[in-house]
Amino acid sequence: MRINNNMSAVITNKQLLRTENNLTKSMERLSSGLKINHAKDNPAGMAISNKMQAQIDALDRASSNASDGTSVLQIADGALNETSAILQRMRELSVQAANGTNSLEDKQAIQDEIEALKDEVNRISKDTEYNSKSLLDGSLDTRVYTDNANVSRVNVSDYVNPGKYEINIKTAATKATDTATDVGINSTGTGAIGASGTISINGSSVDIDANDTMAEVYEKIRAAAEVGEAEMKTDDGTFTGLQASRYGSSAALVITFSGKEGVSTTKDFATALGYTTDLTTDAKTGTMTYDAAKAGNSGTDAEVELSVGKVIAGTTDTSIFSNTATVATDGNRVTITDRDGFSMSFLAKEGKTGKTVFDVTDIGNMTLHIGANEHQNMDVRIQEISCETLYIDDLDVTTVTGADRAISALDDAIAMVSDARSKIGAYENRLEYATSSLDTFEENMTDAMSRLTDVDMAEEMTNYTQYNVLQQAGVSVLSQANDLPQNVLSLLQ
């Protein structure tokens, strides 16, 4: 029997300490609910769980990003819904103005409402915002840059790839014109015109009396020309003729003269207004007509050539128009189309010719980050929706063909807005699926991390019970082991 080293107590104490450590760990797992509380618990598991936690947090944020993007699109769609309703009303007014029962005053009243509605379209375009970010003014549209002032109002579809596109405006659009000569009709003339009759400019008629002063005749012709979609050509306030107000071959200029019977012959009346050449006479009515198309003075459409696969002068860039691209012109409006939805349109500026390069970029689109990692983005493009980009800023139903042209222009505008809304709807649907996918991904990722880091409470309770019993037993055994040296005293008695 030995008393200096109580090996039974040492061994029991060692086991008791081990049991206490295990019991402490078990209690920590039960109180925290985690299987990994320290790096030493599972170094590899801790590293994996940290990366998984980063993914889970990012997925939650990405889901919120997608929801925010949906809110932006819903605001834009709501605004465009109102724009569409306004365009429908404008079209209804245009149909009303096209009816022949309306007087010029009636048409002007209709035009006043159309002007107010155009202002509202522009206001919606300018003021629609989300978190101070404008949505419909072109801020979220693809940026297109040009190298000179040959064009304006450039619109490109979503299917135009970034790159440089070169066009050559070979011939500028022109307006139909007449061959009138200066006969002294000016805005300040006091002498009488000396001939009576009716002049009709593209169907807009006005009566002129022989006693009318030159200034009065000037004013009457100007008013009739405005309604007849024509413009006065002037030189220091002196009338030198007429021209169509629009560019292109579709803009007519037909001027008809009818002298007042018993006062002026038709020829005298036309001569008094400066028209002596290129006139045709109707044998039945005696009226004389100047038709710009028949006289060889009709307007022309712009002539545009595409650079296909050619190196752009002064650069190393190549114009990337496809050889299947086609060009259509209407006056100074040019539309370029190609396969797969490619569309590019612009207005050529008055009288400008030469080469122009369109630098189409991917700048401007709103980028939504809808993933847990870098570059997991979705680009949203919302084109500018204003009267200018819809090509309805010059609608005027008071002119002779203005109502019919307004109906056609508004049909195109309604189609453009519908196209923009359909794209926004497609974006919204994608974001809804993205949100659902992200939420499911986050759920599954959380479940995977839970299996790695969360403690199995039932299993841990079993371990806790085992260690607790062992600790109690160890304390009891240690107490008995400490009593063993007391037996030595019996040998000393």
Residue 83 belongs to domain with CATH number = 1.20.1330.10
The pLDDT value recorded for residue 25 is: 83
Mean pLDDT of 316-335: 93
Does residue 489 surpass a pLDDT of 80? no
Residue of higher predicted confidence among 256 and 263: 256
Cα angle for residues 154, 160, 164 (degrees, 5° grid): 75
Give 95-141 pLDDT, tens digit per residue. 999 998 999 899 999 999 999 999 999 999 999 999 999 999 988 98
Does residue 354 surpass a pLDDT of 60? yes
Q: Same structural domain for residues 117 and 206?
A: no
In a domain, 181, yes or no: no
> What are 175's two structure tokens?
């307006």
> How would residue 407 be classed by pLDDT, with cut points 50, 70 and 90?
very high
Q: How far is CA 400 from the centre of its chain?
A: 34
* Neighbouring residues of 94: CB distance < 8 A, sequence distance ≥ 6: 114, 395, 397, 403, 406, 407, 410
Q: Same structural domain for residues 207 and 275?
A: yes
The pLDDT value recorded for residue 159 is: 86
> How would residue 186 be classed by pLDDT, with cut points 50, 70 and 90?
very high
Please provide the average confidence, as pLDDT, over all residues in the chain. Answer: 90
In a domain, 277, yes or no: yes
Q: Is residue 414 helix, strand or coil?
A: helix
The pLDDT value recorded for residue 493 is: 65
Where are any strands of DSSP class E within 213-341?
230-235, 238-244, 254-259, 279-281, 288-291, 303-306, 308-311, 318-320, 326-330, 333-337
Mean pLDDT of 289-318: 94
Mean pLDDT of 66-95: 96
Q: How far is CA 103 from the centre of its chain?
A: 39
The pLDDT value recorded for residue 39 is: 81
Q: Same structural domain for residues 204 and 135?
A: no
Does residue 1 surpass a pLDDT of 70? no
The pLDDT value recorded for residue 466 is: 87
Q: How far apart are CA 236 and CA 179, in angstroms?
A: 18
Which of 110-119, 257-266, 372-381 is least confident? 257-266
Q: Same structural domain for residues 134 and 54?
A: yes
Count of domains in the chain? Answer: 2
Q: How far is CA 246 from the centre of its chain?
A: 28
Give the end of a domain, one of 239, 270, 291: 291
In a domain, 167, yes or no: no
In a domain, 413, yes or no: yes
* Percent of the chain residues topping a pLDDT of 90: 64
Q: Same structural domain for residues 133 and 222?
A: no
Which of 10-24, 67-81, 158-172, 382-396 is least confident? 10-24
Which of 96-105, 185-194, 249-258, 457-466 is least confident? 457-466
Give the end of a domain, one of 291, 312, 333: 291
Q: What is the DSSP letter of 230?
A: E
The pLDDT value recorded for residue 2 is: 65
The pLDDT value recorded for residue 18 is: 87
In a domain, 271, yes or no: yes
In a domain, 227, yes or no: yes
Q: Same structural domain for residues 41 and 120?
A: yes
Mean pLDDT of 324-352: 92
* Percent of the chain residues topping a pLDDT of 70: 98
Does residue 21 surpass a pLDDT of 70? yes
Q: Same structural domain for residues 124 and 201?
A: no
The pLDDT value recorded for residue 58 is: 93
Give 196-233 pLDDT, tens digit per residue. 999 999 999 999 999 999 999 999 999 999 999 999 99
Q: Same structural domain for residues 133 and 209?
A: no
In a domain, 184, yes or no: no
Contact (Cβ atoms closer than 8 angstroms) between residue 253 and residue 202: yes
Mean pLDDT of 464-475: 84
Determine the structural domain holding residue 122 and report its residue range: 34-140+368-454
Contact (Cβ atoms closer than 8 angstroms) between residue 215 and residue 192: no
In a domain, 155, yes or no: no
Give 137-171 pLDDT, tens digit per residue. 988 988 888 876 678 778 888 888 999 999 999 99
